[in-house]
Structure 1
Amino acid sequence: MIQDPTDEYILTITAHCGLAGKELLEVGCGTGRITRDLARHASRVVAVDPDEAALAKARAADPADNVTFFPMPDGILNFPPASFDVVIYTLSLHHVPLAHMDENLCIAASLLREGGVIVVVEPGDGGSFTEIKERFGAGSGDERPGREAAIGAMNRLDGWTVGETVLFRVQFLFADEDDFIAAKLPGFAGKPEAYRHEVREFIARYRVPEGVVLDAGRRLNVLRRG
């Protein structure tokens, strides 16, 4: 699988938040797909994630000298105040437990220097990849409840203003149907035959000469003090 082959994430982020010369904290870096792009623009990137296996892949894939990866097993952003110029949640805020979402954003705000911003990238609406997640439970499944909770938490962050919502689309390129199933549908072989047939029929609609191309809506907000 190739995530975001046209680099829509970094193009959108840099269009709405300057990163040059900035020290940046990435919350929820996963396997480092977006981290690698951020590192080409920022002076320093500290990337955290609760998934140790994902962090191992991120470290192996990103040899950049200006990136440091840290585990975040308890979900707490444990850094000194005013350590960063930008905190960016890369498709991660909606995964924070609802009971801790507001607190997590408050801590993120405390880590920023004067003039610092919080960038939140979240799932949006629409797209074939979004549909297959919602219909068949692929990947992380239906993310709408978590996304709505994240939007509420952003709007409740005291003393901060949520900027315009920027909508964009990203693509996912899979070698074929089996590549998608292996990456996003563990346990597929044990599902009922009707389910397996329906999934394969859905994926086949998006077959192109390069493989299978699915897309998903995304949204970006920049939060600023005031």
Structure 2
Amino acid sequence: MKIADPTQTALVNEVKLMLDELPFDGARVLELGCGKAEKTRTLAERGRVTEILALEVDAIQHARNLQVTDLPNVRFAQGGAEAIPAEENSFDIVILFKSLHHVPVEHMDQALCEITRVLKPGGLAWISEPVFAGDLNEIMRLFHDEKIVREAAFAALCRAVEDGRLSLKDERFFNTRSQFDSFAQFDARMIRVTHSNHSLSRELYRKVEEKFSAHLTPQGVTFFTPQRVDLLEKPARH
């Protein structure tokens, strides 16, 4: 396993990649860190899965998710990966989109134990993590430097594979696209979020705006952000 591969720069729609490659037909799915439930909706509306349990730690976003009433095969719950409210061997697929590095470092190993516990033997975990590189990352790290937590998440994944809890089926590296029309949109989407308390001083806010604006064109700005996906499998006998 490796944390990054700068040579792999193909532009990929990760959701489409996941939908194409995972055996969702008739599956029970657990999504950890579902956020605004955009991917949850995409998956649910395809009509392939039997059920989705979508967990979110952020109480504000979870309350909003509970207002969703048109996805009968989705159940929303509040909780984190380190304490999954589900029975063992109950899911065919577990999905984490950019979520593992948000688990407290001291709980990352427990989170992977929990993922293993709730997966059925032969079940799959799709764990995607942002690579600590790229122009957008250089802006974000001014006020939200995730280098340490991303390295810790990768180390936890390596330990889970090394000790046999999970086996590595595949590892992918690619770029995704992030589009912003203006700094105001960046501010709303990346700074003023409910799941993190980004309290920027006036001076730091100005530095962030200046660094962002250096990339801005009349058409906005497009960042290409490197990603890694680890596709893991629970051993048939565990």
TM bin, normalised by shorter chain, reads: 0.7 to 0.9
The corresponding residue for 1:129 is 136
Q: Which runs of 5+ in 1 are unaligned?
A: 1-5
- Provide the C-alpha distance between the structure 2 equivalents of 1:131 and 1:89, rounded to a whole number of angstroms: 24
Matches within 5 A, 1:20-59: 20-39=25-44, 40=46, 41-59=48-66
Q: CA deviation at 1:34?
A: 2.1
- Provide the C-alpha distance between the structure 2 equivalents of 1:48 and 1:152, rounded to a whole number of angstroms: 23
SS at match of 1:155: helix
Measured on the aligned residues, the alpha-carbon RMSD in Å equals 2.6
Classify 1:171/1:113 alpha carbon distance in 2 versus 1 (closer, same or farther; 3 Å): same
- Provide the C-alpha distance between the structure 1 equivalents of 2:112 and 2:81, rounded to a whole number of angstroms: 15
Residue 179 (1) aligns with residue 185 (2): yes
The corresponding residue for 2:156 is 153
Q: Deviations over 1:133-176 (max 9, x none)?
A: 12x21xxx222221221222122223221233211222223331
Classify 1:12/1:208 alpha carbon distance in 2 versus 1 (closer, same or farther; 3 Å): farther
Structure 2 contact 177–222 (Cα < 8 Å) conserved: yes
- Report sequence identity in percent: 29
Q: TM-score, normalised by structure 2?
A: 0.78
Q: CA deviation at 1:103?
A: 1.6
Structure 1 contact 51–73 (Cα < 8 Å) conserved: no
Q: TM-score, normalised by structure 1?
A: 0.82
- Provide the C-alpha distance between the structure 1 equivalents of 2:73 and 2:218, rounded to a whole number of angstroms: 37
Structure 1 contact 50–75 (Cα < 8 Å) conserved: no
Q: CA deviation at 1:9?
A: 2.5
Structure 1 contact 155–161 (Cα < 8 Å) conserved: no
SS at match of 1:80: coil
- Amino acid of the structure 2 residue aligned with 1:184: M
- Provide the C-alpha distance between the structure 1 equivalents of 2:111 and 2:232, rounded to a whole number of angstroms: 14
SS at match of 2:170: coil
- Provide the C-alpha distance between the structure 1 equivalents of 2:129 and 2:66, rounded to a whole number of angstroms: 23
- Amino acid of the structure 1 residue aligned with 2:222: V
The corresponding residue for 1:84 is 91
- Provide the C-alpha distance between the structure 2 equivalents of 1:55 and 1:44, rounded to a whole number of angstroms: 18
Q: Deviations over 1:32-85 (max 9, x none)?
A: 132222323533211001111112333446732221110116941021111110
- Provide the C-alpha distance between the structure 2 equivalents of 1:63 and 1:168, rounded to a whole number of angstroms: 33
- Provide the C-alpha distance between the structure 2 equivalents of 1:125 and 1:168, rounded to a whole number of angstroms: 13
Structure 2 contact 28–93 (Cα < 8 Å) conserved: yes
- Amino acid of the structure 2 residue aligned with 1:108: I
**Match of residue 23, structure 2, among 5, 10, 18:** 18
- Provide the C-alpha distance between the structure 1 equivalents of 2:24 and 2:80, rounded to a whole number of angstroms: 27
Classify 1:75/1:173 alpha carbon distance in 2 versus 1 (closer, same or farther; 3 Å): same
Q: For structure 1, which segment, 54-63 or 158-167, has the greater mean C-alpha deviation from structure 2 after superposition?
A: 54-63
The corresponding residue for 1:67 is 74
- Provide the C-alpha distance between the structure 2 equivalents of 1:46 and 1:71, rounded to a whole number of angstroms: 10
Q: CA deviation at 1:11?
A: 1.8
- Provide the C-alpha distance between the structure 2 equivalents of 1:122 and 1:74, rounded to a whole number of angstroms: 15
Structure 1 contact 27–88 (Cα < 8 Å) conserved: yes
- Amino acid of the structure 2 residue aligned with 1:216: T
Q: CA deviation at 1:205?
A: 3.6
Classify 1:101/1:183 alpha carbon distance in 2 versus 1 (closer, same or farther; 3 Å): same
The corresponding residue for 1:220 is 229
SS at match of 2:23: coil
- Amino acid of the structure 2 residue aligned with 1:33: E
- Amino acid of the structure 1 residue aligned with 2:209: R
